[in-house]
Amino acid sequence: MPRTTTPTPLARLLVARIRERGPLTFAEYMRECLYHPEHGYYSRAETRRFADYYTSVDVHPIFGRLVARQLAELWVLLDRPAEFWAVEAGAGAGRLSQHLLDFAARELSDFYRALRYVAVEPSPARRAAHTASFGSHRKAGRAVSAAEWPAEIPAGCIFSNELLDALPVHRVVREKGILREIYVAARGDELCEQLGALSAPALAEYFRTQGIELLEGQQAEVGLEACAWIEDAGRRLGRGFVLTVDYGHEARELYNERHLRGTLLAYHQHRASEDLLAAPGEQDLTAHVNFTALDLWGRRAGLERTGLVSQARFLLALGRGNEFADLYDPGQSEVERLRARLLLKNLIFPEGMGEAFQVFIQHKGIEHPHLTGLEPC
């Protein structure tokens, strides 16, 4: 599709690179769009908060507070280790860490004393933002910021909110019974799609492992990076949990006839578009997460499936114990409390984020753990 807008600086760089070295896999293209050190969407500071998207952590601190309650329970399940590592992957500007740490310090003091919070974020601009918000927690030795995650996590939980949907994916299509890869090539000064042979045997292996066969003409994403990520997480974790919040599906649903064109979307100023090659570096690119793949690749590193529930069910199960008293801050007026209740609905109602988002939990080195967040409602 011809584009009339001026190419972004990253589009110019990519066209020049493709002319010199040939087409890029979509995963290479997506990596540049999101993480190019200068022009990548996530490399820049969040100058305009909520400009293109917002996540559950932006809705109300209750999300972080209930995650804190779940982590405190995991600490108990692990027999209250003296150090509980809470490793937040993709911490971004630090809103979840701030809500969680403030709440733990105020309401969960025994847990807080054992807490070793590591906010992992590759973007220097976003690391600077969350470090600034840590304040007293950093001084108390409870929280640090890191570009990469720790080599070893003896006991604790690795958790993320909307990280895995932002990891680069390959794109494939089934043509005449054969899997072909969708590359990003250049025509004149413009980026375009081009079909070719698979860039790696791992792409076909990915579908075989999950017993998935695409329909004729169906396009799909392959999240090899998410598979590598969960294996790495499992290897680094001694005992504990991996808790993933994201939108996504089990493989049989992700690759069914409802997703014939895959799930990749571009976001700019809260509008979704299928024009994935438009404005590289200036729009967010996301693909739905495959929880079956996380389960299967996690097993290779000793992770077992604890459960998969909607975000609505997870938050309701954790909040109902005290009738969502954690929603409120001391001294709030009735109007403020009403507003807090309305915001909560955004997080739990099916038409809001409640059913679109899922919570997937895996465990290692502990037998059949029972988690409040996974309890039936």
Ligand X SMILES: C[S@@+](CC[C@H](N)C(=O)[O-])C[C@H]1O[C@@H](n2cnc3c(N)ncnc32)[C@H](O)[C@@H]1O
* Binding stretches for ligand X (CB under 6 A): 42, 55, 57, 89-90, 92, 95-96, 120-123, 126, 161-163, 166
Contact predicate 280/191, CB 8 Å: yes
Give the nearer residue to ligand X in terms of CB position, either 8 or 55: 55
Position closest to ligand X via CB: 90
DSSP 8-state assignment for residue 257: G
Q: Which residue has the tokens 């709030």?
A: 332
Give the nearer residue to ligand X in terms of CB position, either 14 or 30: 30
Contact predicate 149/89, CB 8 Å: yes
Shortest distance (Å) from residue 238 CB to ligand X: 20
Contact predicate 169/222, CB 8 Å: yes
Give the nearer residue to ligand X in terms of CB position, either 62 or 173: 62
Q: Measured between alpha carbons, how far is 255 from 147 in angstroms, rounded to an integer? A: 33
Shortest distance (Å) from residue 272 CB to ligand X: 14
Number of H helices, E strands in the chain: 14, 16
Those residues whose C-beta lies under 8 Å from the C-beta of residue 78, and which sit 6 or more positions away, are 84, 155, 156, 239, 240, 366
Give the nearer residue to ligand X in terms of CB position, either 78 or 312: 312
Give the nearer residue to ligand X in terms of CB position, either 123 or 145: 123
Shortest distance (Å) from residue 152 CB to ligand X: 17
Beta partners for residue 290, in sequence order: 249
Provide the token pair at 254. 């992700």
Shortest distance (Å) from residue 119 CB to ligand X: 10
Give the nearer residue to ligand X in terms of CB position, either 120 or 242: 120
Shortest distance (Å) from residue 92 CB to ligand X: 3
Shortest distance (Å) from residue 17 CB to ligand X: 21
Residue 220 Ramachandran class (φ > 0 left, ψ -120 to 50 alpha, else beta)? beta
Length of the chain: 377
Give the nearer residue to ligand X in terms of CB position, either 78 or 101: 101
Burial of 77 (0-12, 13-18, 19+ CB in 10 A): middle
| Sheet with 265-268, side-by-side order of all strands | 271-273, 265-268, 284-286
Shortest distance (Å) from residue 187 CB to ligand X: 30
Shortest distance (Å) from residue 54 CB to ligand X: 8
Q: Measured between alpha carbons, how far is 67 from 27 in angstroms, rounded to an integer? A: 31
Q: Measured between alpha carbons, how far is 133 from 86 in angstroms, rounded to an integer? A: 17
Q: Is 345 helix (H, G, I), strand (E, B) or coil?
A: helix
Give the nearer residue to ligand X in terms of CB position, either 190 or 225: 225
